[in-house]
């Protein structure tokens, strides 16, 4: 009997789309890792975002007819939802990997732990209850520095949805996860989350890169992620 290798399920940030992770998916596949890249954009256009995104995630994985165990990899804002994603599946999940992401805060919202001025700023730039697209939060030159490939950046920007401000106020699911976890840090912004993951005893890898390195430096990110996947498989 031949063991079926675990499939790596890549989950994009609620503020972006699958284009932000497609180069990483291709690089992982080239390394021999079965990979499933989801498109969850339709779930974030209305509240309650958490409930909608978890339901569509589970349906998408089941509809893919993937076989064997899964490892869920959540980028950025998808990270806190990984335990709930795992809990919603019938397919067994062997581990979770947080990719430059926040860690779960069960029962607490993003707003509960964010600086008050940050929430006030996002509220001030929202219109009709919707936050502006993620790419507009930065100067154009900052994004082009992270993703020099003009066509790829255009695709990433075109996919960015307007997410309801209510998403930041929704309590995150109160779902626990007792299985293996790992952390891959790409940017300095998530150094505290990576340190917290290390303190929890998780395997941690740190790249001197940036938040969108999965798109612009997929080979480097895939190599580090493959190392973590191998470590998780031994736990």
Go through 89-107 and write b for each residue having 16 or more CB atoms within 10 A of its CB, e for each that does not.
Answer: eebebbbbbbbbbbbbeee
CA distance linking residue 117 with residue 188, whole number of Å: 21
CA distance linking residue 23 with residue 221, whole number of Å: 10
pLDDT at 2: 43
Instruction: Dihedral sign for Cα 4, 202, 208, 39, please.
Output: positive
Is the per-residue pLDDT at 1 higher than 50?
A: no
Is the per-residue pLDDT at 152 higher than 90?
A: yes
Residue 4 — very low, low, confident or very high, per pLDDT cuts 50/70/90? low
User: Which residue pairs from 26-29 have beta carbons closer than 8 angstroms and sit at least 24 positions apart in sequence?
Assistant: 26/218, 27/218, 27/219, 27/221, 27/222, 28/222, 28/225, 28/226
How far apart, in Å, are the Cα atoms of 22 and each of 37, 204, 216? 7, 23, 10
pLDDT at 234: 81
Residue 173 located in a structural domain? yes
Instruction: Dihedral sign for Cα 207, 73, 122, 119, please.
Output: negative
pLDDT at 138: 82
CA distance linking residue 103 with residue 82, whole number of Å: 9
Q: What is the pLDDT of residues 74-97, one digit of tens each?
A: 999 999 999 999 999 999 999 999
Give the helix, strand, coil percentages of the chain, each rounded to 5: 50, 15, 40
Residue 183 located in a structural domain? yes
- Residues spanned by the domain of 223: 7-233
CATH number at residue 68: 3.40.50.1820
Is the per-residue pLDDT at 53 higher than 50?
A: yes
**∠ CA 70-73-74, rounded to 5°:** 135
- What's the number of domains the chain is made of? 1
Residue 1 located in a structural domain? no
Residue 2 located in a structural domain? no
Tell me the whole-structure pTM to 2 decimals.
0.95
Q: What is the pLDDT of residues 160-197, one digit of tens each?
A: 999 999 999 999 999 989 999 999 999 999 999 999 99
- Mean per-residue pLDDT, 21-40: 96
CA distance linking residue 111 with residue 124, whole number of Å: 14
Q: What is the pLDDT of residues 106-135, one digit of tens each?
A: 999 999 998 899 899 889 989 999 999 998
- Mean per-residue pLDDT, 202-228: 97
Residue 217 located in a structural domain? yes
CA distance linking residue 73 with residue 39, whole number of Å: 14
């Amino acid at each position: 009997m031949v063991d079926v290798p675990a499939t790596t399920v890549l989950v994009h940030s609620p503020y972006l789309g699958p284009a932000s992770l497609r180069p990483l998916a291709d690089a992982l596949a080239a390394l021999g890792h079965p990979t499933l890249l989801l498109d969850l954009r339709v779930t974030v256009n209305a509240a309650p975002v958490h409930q909608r995104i978890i339901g569509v995630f589970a349906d998408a994985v089941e509809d893919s007819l993937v076989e064997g165990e899964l490892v869920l990899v959540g980028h950025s804002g998808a990270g806190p939802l990984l335990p709930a994603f795992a809990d919603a599946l019938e397919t067994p999940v062997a581990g979770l990997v947080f990719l430059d992401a926040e860690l779960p805060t069960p029962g607490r919202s993003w707003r509960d732990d964010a600086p008050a001025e940050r929430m006030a700023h996002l509220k001030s730039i929202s219109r009709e209850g919707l936050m502006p697209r993620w790419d507009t939060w930065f100067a154009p030159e900052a994004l082009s520095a992270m993703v020099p490939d003009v066509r790829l950046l255009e695709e990433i920007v075109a996919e960015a949805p307007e997410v309801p401000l209510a998403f930041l106020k929704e309590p995150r699911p109160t779902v626990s996860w007792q299985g293996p976890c790992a952390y891959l840090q790409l940017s300095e912004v998530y150094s505290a989350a990576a340190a917290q993951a290390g303190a929890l005893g998780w395997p941690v890898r740190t790249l001197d890169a940036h938040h969108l390195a999965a798109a612009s430096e997929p080979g480097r990110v895939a190599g580090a992620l493959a190392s973590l996947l191998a470590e998780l498989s031994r736990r």
